[in-house]
Amino acid sequence: GHQYANILTETKGRVAIITLNRPDALNALNSPLMKDLNDALRVYDADEGIGAIVVTGGEKAFAAGADIKEMQPLTFVDNYKKNFIGDWTGVTTIRKPILAAVNGFALGGGCELAMMCDIIYAGDRAVFGQPEIKLGVIPGAGGTQRLTKAIGKSKTMEQVLTGKFMNAEEAEKAGLVARVFPAASLLEEVLKVAKTIASYSLPSVLMAKEAVNKSFEVPLSEGLHFERRLFHSLFATEDQKEGMDAFQNKRKPQWKHQ
Ligand code: CO8
Q: What pLDDT score does 88 carry?
A: 85
> Edge-to-edge strands of the sheet including 105-107?
61-63, 105-107, 127-129, 166-167
Residue nearest to atom 8 of ligand 1 (CA): 64
Q: What pLDDT score does 103 carry?
A: 98
Q: Which of 48, 95, 249 is nearest to 241 (CA)?
A: 249
- Residue 21 Cα, ligand 1 centroid: separation in angstroms? 14
Q: What pLDDT score does 86 carry?
A: 86
- Residue 205 Cα, ligand 1 centroid: separation in angstroms? 36
The span from the CA of 227 to the CA of 159, in Å, is 33
Ligand 1 site, CB within 6 A? 25-26, 28-29, 64-69, 85, 88, 105, 107-109, 112-113, 131-132, 135, 139-141
- Residue 64 Cα, ligand 1 centroid: separation in angstroms? 5
Q: What pLDDT score does 87 carry?
A: 78
Q: What pLDDT score does 174 carry?
A: 98
Q: 167: which strand partners? A: 127
Q: Tens-of-pLDDT digits for all 258 residues of the chain?
A: 679 999 999 999 999 999 999 999 999 999 999 999 999 999 999 999 999 999 999 999 999 999 999 999 999 999 999 999 887 889 999 999 999 999 999 999 999 999 999 999 999 999 999 999 999 999 999 999 999 999 999 999 999 999 999 999 999 999 999 999 999 999 999 999 999 999 999 999 999 999 999 999 999 999 999 999 999 999 999 999 999 999 999 999 999 998
Q: Classify the complex by whether its ipTM is higher than 0.90, answering yes or no.
A: yes
Contact 214, 223 (CB under 8 A): yes
Q: Which of 194, 200, 201, 183 is nearest to 237 (CA)?
A: 201
Site to probe by mutation for ligand 1, drawn from 34, 68, 137 as the one with most ligand atoms within 8 Å of Cβ, is: 68
Catalytic one among 66, 171, 194, 198? 66
Residue nearest to atom 14 of ligand 1 (CA): 25
Question: What atom of ligand 1 comes closest to residue 26's alpha carbon?
Answer: 21
For 238, the enclosing helix (H) or strand (E) is: helix 238-248
Residue nearest to atom 11 of ligand 1 (CA): 25
